[in-house]
Structure 1
Amino acid sequence: MANQMTKAQLVAALAEATGGDKKAAGAMLDALTGIITQTVSEGGAVTLPGVGKIYCRERPERMVRNPSTGEQIKKESDKVVKVTVAKALKDSINA
């Protein structure tokens, strides 16, 4: 990864893009993160236009292998967060 944006840099860029201050931009970012977390943890999905869709998927019970011993063990079903990237973002990267 060449450039990785930190939260502080994201807040500063958001404040500059909206013409607001950093405190308000930080509050907006925290609120957005909270809304996404709550919605996805309740089983819903959030679509960010031009970015993608964030949702929760349940994985079924399955057999997995312990890498150190090679022993097969049963792993209980669990939930994972998935992100599907929007076509617009893929196209902008591959253009």
Structure 2
Amino acid sequence: MTFVSEFKEFLKKYQVLGLVVAFIIGAAATKLVTALVNDIVMPIVGALVPGGDWRVSTLDIGPVKFMVGDFVGAIIDFLIIALVVYLIVKMVMKEDATQKR
């Protein structure tokens, strides 16, 4: 068996191409969700919070500055990404269940 044929067999056996496609789509979805959060959600939150740009908010304890605003933004990013992934998986699982019938 040649190296090329072994490599092709490896790609087929472990479904590497599917993983690559999923990774690329995941990266694009992350960019989309980040844009949604930064451009739609955060301006609304910023309008509701006094002082406007809350992403740069810090909690100062002595000489230490905790970047609270940035952390809260990361939590919101994560929650929206988790929600989108959950909804996609739920939709795919529902399609699988209907196809098995």
Give the shorter-chain TM-score range: 0.3 to 0.5
Q: Which has the higher helix share?
A: 2
State the structure with bigger RCO (CA 8 A, min sep 6), 1 or 2: 1
TM-score normalised by length of structure 1: 0.33
TM-score normalised by length of structure 2: 0.32
Larger-gyration structure (1/2): 2
Q: Which has the higher strand share?
A: 1
